[in-house]
Amino acid sequence: MRLWELAARFNSFKRTNVILQHLRMSNHTDAAGEVLLERKGCAGVITLNRPKFLNALNFSMVRQIYPQLKKWEQDPETFLIIIKGVGGKAFCAGGDIRAISEAAKANQKLAQEFFREEYILNNAIDSCQKPYVALINGITMGGGVGLSIHGQFRVATEKSLFAMPETAIGLFPDVGGGYFLPRLQGKLGYFLALTGFRLKGRDVYTAGIATHFVDSEKLSMLEADLLALKSPSKENIADVLDTYHTKSKIDQNKPFILEEHLDKINSWFSANSVEQIIDILQQDGSSFALEQLKAINKMSPTSLKITLRQLMEGSSKTLQEVLTMEYRLSQACMGGHDFHEGVRAVLIDKDQSPKWKPADLKEVTDEDLNNYFKSLGSNDLKF
């Protein structure tokens, strides 16, 4: 082979290598670009940056947020942490459950590691020593609730849409749902958990999910005012949030959407079993009761029973104890049928008609249920 041919081949090899390297780098930058972590003014700012996927939380995002949160918590120059989503439609529509289902079916470790590290992040947000402000503008569900509800301040807007719809995909309201849901007023959390009912706008604040309500068009001004604070205390931050909250007039006099039903919700969802709740709703017969009955009847029977027990037990546990319990449940669901069937019906084939197994509440025995709550021994979640 002539020298110039060798040189030409070498050049083409080099070129291919450069291209491959570039592709590898752009892959990496994609992952890095999915969440932006920036120091601005007095704050650390976390921006969820997957607008095409409604800022759904994936494993690489969890892995980037956690160490940065810990660094900022220790940094004397960082006085608060702000988390927000890009695109105006969603804060974060949940975890990337399709990827988790695919991994679990292929027996990959992602399903173990994602839940483990996500729950550890939820706990880190709860125990964070710096004020944590979540701007929950737009859709906030599942994993997005986990990134916000455990923080000190949650700011809703007229575009906020909150739900914990996991029973519809064969899962349960995790990310600490067993802790915060039973602590909402009366039995509201039990109702939201079992029916997947959606709260919108100011109702997200009235229900106690958010601590403040601000017009969405004022959010960037609010953020700028927070960033401009000089060495703020928790009280200084609360003052700014309170000022914006007080000025917001959108839907100010609108009654809470569930106001007229709260007494009934408290009575219906005080029952000790899902079967009893269903009987009571049937006996009530009002259009609101029948609407909830219709929603519950579409859910995974296994998920419904897991969820009711999860909330009952969680009502007297610490957040860490709840997350340990939920990690056990998550791993049992990965090994079961309904989660994968729910993902198929809702996210893959989108036929919205999952075939649950078992299909009837009566067939979900106490023994089945106990197995979901069993300790994982050395694989249990540790903080």
Q: Looking at the annotation, which residues are catalytic?
A: 95, 143, 166, 174
Closest CA to 167 of 138, 136, 195, 205: 195
- By residue count, the chain amounts to 383
Q: In what order do the strands lie in the sheet with 139-141?
A: 90-92, 139-141, 161-163, 199-200
Closest CA to 335 of 158, 171, 164: 171
Provide the token pair at 250.
């959108």
Angle between helices 301-314 and 274-284 (to 10 degrees): 100
Residue appearing with tokens 């000022």: 243
Q: How far apart are the first and last CA of the chain?
A: 62
Which letter, b or e, does each residue of 110-142 get, where b requires 16 or more Cβ atoms within 10 Å of its Cβ? bbbebbbbbbbbbbbbbebebbbbbbbbbbbbb
**Cα distance between residue 22 and residue 19, in whole Å:** 5
DSSP code at position 196: -
**Cα distance between residue 370 and residue 373, in whole Å:** 5
